[in-house]
Every structure is written in structure tokens, then in C-alpha cells.
Structure 1
């Protein structure tokens, strides 16, 4: 039999949901898996074990995308249907077991909320890749010592820390003893985020910045695994770095870090002094305020967090200056 997994359109939410796939594969190792998701999110799932099909959900008027999904999935009986979009689909299909993510009433992290469908406390995200993704990452980082990843973009301007502060942060990170000598700054994100990283790209200074904008998701994951630290806006790249296990600092303002902080023991948060609710209230009263929602985070705040992690020994350099594995 087979499993139907219905998940998000957004890449970040899709990454968060991968722990469910790992658990399902462990419970039913012989079953094929069909994944229904948005086009951007599909890039996360290309190497999922026993993947039978990827069904791309394209929003249509009058809920036509759900009827299209139902017509494609109705002819067979499923062992398990899991739905993270709270649609009626699990109850419209023949299935042995049905799960739908509950509404959040407790303020839990989305990893915990997803796992609660199965009576579990959490299910850590897991990304599957292939040798070609690892090879791509190795080529990009060939000879690089102490690579530090930065994700300067996000899917909404209100979540984006000013680019000039990222540039200052990069300069000051290079001066820290923990990242000497020759720290490389690795810029990751979609091709449309390259403009946000222009300030950093202009300061390459002999190739000290590696431009990984537009790299596919799975190769980016392998790239991040080789980095010593990630500093990111609340974004898909932040969740990808956290899934890789490297120390990840997420920058938060108008979004709730209790729901979307970088998951795992190496995930950390620096947020604005104002709460997400306060910032959104400001935005509702003045739409032009969107460009200032992350201004409350200073470069020194981020450096203090990096210093805190250094004091805890989370990224002690190896003798050759390469990233610890």
C-alpha cells in the first residue's frame, strides 16, 4: 500500500514537515509515498525514500485545486493520509488511517504541533540528498576555511534585516578569533534574493564571499552542512540550516519565534525588543513601517549571541581551520 502526504506551498514549512516523512518511512518502510504540495516546496522532496509521485498543487478558483487532487488520488486506497493543510481530503479518500494537523491553541513550535497528530512530542526535520548534491557543495567550498553562511532574504520585506547590517556583521565576524584565518562568507537564498545581498557581493575583497544564490535546495543543504554558523532572517534558509544541525541564529521581528524558531539544540534566536504583535499593530496603522520592522536588532546584538555560542564551544575551529564535522 501507499501513503499520501499533503503539505505546504512554502519551502520553510515543507522543511519543518520532513520529520513526519521520516517517521512514516520508519513505520512503513515498504510503502511508497506520494507527496502533494506547492511547486516551491516540491524542491525539498526530490530524494525522499520510496517516493512514488509528487503532485503539485496549483491554486485555482473555487477550490478547483482540491478537486483536481481528489480526482488524482481517489481511485486507490491509501494506508495512511496525512494532511498539514487541514482540508477535507483525508475524509474524502479511502484510507486505513487519517491524520490532520490541529489548530494551534498552545503556542507550540510547528515541529511540535505537527508531531502532536501522532501523539509524539516532536519529529526532527530530515533532508535527503544524493551524491551529486554533496559534490556540488564540495566544489563551491573547495579550499574555503571557516565558511559562515548568511541568508539575507525572506519571503516578505517585513522580515528582512537591513542589508547594510548584514554587511557590517560579515566584516566583524571575520575579525573574531573563532573564525580566523580567512573566514569565507557564504550567501544562500533564491536567485531573486541576490539583489538583497548586493552590498555583501560588492565587498568580495579577493573572493571572500561565495555567491550561492539560486543553488538548488538539496545542494544548499549540503553546503550548509559544511558551514560553521548560519545567521538568517526567518526564512526557508534558516530552517534548512537548522535541519543540517549547524549552529543557526534566526533573526525575528514581526513573526513569532515560538512558532518558527530554528528547530533543534543548535537553533537560537535574536529578536527585536518589540514583540511580533506590537510590530504588526504598527504595520496596520502605517503600511510604510514595513521597512523598519527589523530595525530593533543591532549588529552588536547578533555578535553578542555569536560570542555566547563561542563561549559554549559550539564552533571551535579544527587545526586546519575547516568546519567541524
Structure 2
């Protein structure tokens, strides 16, 4: 049995689809899986069990990436084709069963993905880190080391909480009298985001810094499985942390937490004081990259600090993450 799984180009959406992929592996234990995704998302699936082929869809002119996918799959028979990008590709392939994501929805993306393939309840996202990265993570974060992780960047500036507030939150949580007093600080972001992340790293002395800015998401995900708490903007790294099992706080303003909140029993959302709908109305009915102002500035440090204290208490330390 062979199943084609067409996933997203974006890291966050790819991570949110891993619950469905894992659920299908449990439903069809004899099946092999082919995964098609963008290059950034390849590490999400690289070590997934029974994924026998990954088709990297690097964007090309004149939909060349879709033609590449069709060339690789057109003359193969698939028992099921699952298209979580909502394209027309599944209709062009030889298969007994097509499951295509509908673009318009109000459900959380994890639930929407699950309904597309008939999984109820929706299985939670998960990671499949390779042994090499697990070993590297154990070196970076040895047993017994308490770590606060932060992701102060995002795909566009309008989703970013001011970096100086991340730094202040780190000082409050890790400084004298804080709930994680003396712990290490892990900071991560994408390639080229070193300067944007530097003020957060400098919130603690050099010997307590773990700099993973620009590191691969396979390494970062393995390290997230060993941290005590993660705080970050609405981004792929936020979803990676939640899928790794880290207690996760996602910070939201102009984007829809109802659809993209971090998923899991140890994940919470902290919004700016106004709803997504109220911000949309202020922006003329639609939120784009070019927002009129940084709505994330409406979120104060004390609010996030209290959420962190509550989540730390709820996930009392047992090893790294808590029970």
C-alpha cells in the first residue's frame, strides 16, 4: 500500500500536519508513504517512519515545482492521495481515494487537517528527530539543565513582540527570585536573524546562553524536547516547540489564534488585549504584512510573565519538560 502526502512549504503548517501523517501510519500499518513538501519543511519528515521518499518542491517559475511533482508521481499508483495544500494535483493522479483540504475554514488547522482524512479525534502534531540530533541535543542540554527557550522573530514584523520585551521577560523569569532563577536561556531564529535576536541572548551572562539562531529545525526540535519552557511569536518555531512537547506560550496579535494557536496539553496562547476580529476591523477588514502599526506593542511583559508562571506551575518539572 502506498500513500502520497502533499504537505506545506511552510514549517509551521508542515508541523501542524504531522499529527495526520502519524495518525495515518497507525491506521495503515502496512503502508509506505511518499511526502511532497517545500525545502524548508523537508527536515520535519526526514526521519518519519515508513516515509520512503520525500519529493522536494522547490518553487520554480511557471509552476515548475508542480510539474516536477507530477513527473515523479503521474505513472505511479497510490492507494490514497492526501493534498493538504488544496491543489488540483490529486485529481491528476492514479489513485483509489483522494482527500483534498478545503481552503475556507474556521477550525483550528490541526482539526481541519484531521477532518480532511476522517481522523477523529484529531491526532496531535509530533516530531521524529533523528538519533544524531537527539544525541546533539543531549550534549547541548544535558540532563538536569533547566532551559528557557525563546523565539523572538517571525515571518513578518507585524507578528513580532518587541525584542526588548522578550529580553525583559527573560530577566524576570531567570533573574534572582524568578521562577527559573539561574536557568539557561536558549534563543532561536532563522538564518540571518542574529542581530534581531542578540538583545534577548544578552539578557543573561555568556555562560548561560545557548545560541541556536540559524540552526536547522531538526536540531532545534530535538533541543525543544528538553527545555522547561518556550515563549515565542506566532511562527513555525512555536509549532515546533509544542510538537516537541515543550510547555509552550504563543504570542498573538494580528493573526488568528483560533486557527493557529500552539496545539497540545502544555500549550497556551497569550493575545494582545483585542481580538483578531477587532484588529482586522481596524486594518480595513484584512490583516496583511503591511499593518498600520505593530499591534504586538499592546501586549505588556507582566501579562506574559503571569502566563509563564502559571504554565510552569502546571507543568511541574520532572526531568526537563514536566509530566
Same fold per TM (> 0.5)? Answer: yes
- SS of the residue 1:178 aligns to: coil
**Segment drifting more, 88-97 vs 25-34:** 25-34
Matches within 5 A, 1:141-290: 141-142=141-142, 145-175=145-175, 176-180=177-181, 182-283=182-283
Contact 1:144-1:322 within 8 A present in 2 as well: yes
**Residue 213 and residue 287 in structure 1: after superposition, are their counterparts in 2 closer, same or farther (change >3 A)?**
closer
- Distance in structure 2 (CA, Å) of the matches to 1:292 and 1:299: 16
Matches within 5 A, 1:1-325: 1-105=1-105, 107-119=106-118, 120-142=120-142, 145-175=145-175, 176-180=177-181, 182-283=182-283, 292-310=294-312, 313-317=313-317, 324=322
- SS of the residue 2:54 aligns to: strand
Superposed CA offset, 1:258-305 (max 9, x none)? 000010111101111122244345456998755522101100010111
- Distance in structure 2 (CA, Å) of the matches to 1:100 and 1:289: 32
Task: Give unpaired runs (5+ residues) of structure 2.
Answer: none
What RMSD in Å do the two structures reach over aligned CA positions?
2.2
Superposed CA offset, 1:178-223 (max 9, x none)? 323x211111222222222111233442422211112221221121
Contact 1:242-1:267 within 8 A present in 2 as well: yes
**Residue 144 and residue 77 in structure 1: after superposition, are their counterparts in 2 closer, same or farther (change >3 A)?**
same
What TM-score results when the alignment is normalised by the length of structure 1?
0.91
**Residue 122 and residue 279 in structure 1: after superposition, are their counterparts in 2 closer, same or farther (change >3 A)?**
same
**Residue 5 and residue 150 in structure 1: after superposition, are their counterparts in 2 closer, same or farther (change >3 A)?**
same
- Distance in structure 2 (CA, Å) of the matches to 1:288 and 1:83: 30
Task: Give unpaired runs (5+ residues) of structure 1.
Answer: none
> Runs of 4 or more off by more than 6 Å in structure 1?
285-288
- Distance in structure 1 (CA, Å) of the matches to 2:128 and 2:320: 24
- Distance in structure 1 (CA, Å) of the matches to 2:245 and 2:292: 31
**Segment drifting more, 28-37 vs 261-270:** 28-37
**Residue 63 and residue 126 in structure 1: after superposition, are their counterparts in 2 closer, same or farther (change >3 A)?**
same
What's the offset of the Cα at 1:36? 0.8
- Distance in structure 2 (CA, Å) of the matches to 1:245 and 1:298: 26
- SS of the residue 1:69 aligns to: helix
Contact 1:178-1:316 within 8 A present in 2 as well: no
**Residue 2 and residue 317 in structure 1: after superposition, are their counterparts in 2 closer, same or farther (change >3 A)?**
closer
- Distance in structure 2 (CA, Å) of the matches to 1:10 and 1:53: 19
Contact 1:152-1:193 within 8 A present in 2 as well: no
Superposed CA offset, 1:224-280 (max 9, x none)? 111111111001111011112221110000100000001011110111112224434
- SS of the residue 1:221 aligns to: helix
Contact 1:104-1:113 within 8 A present in 2 as well: no
- Distance in structure 1 (CA, Å) of the matches to 2:292 and 2:138: 38
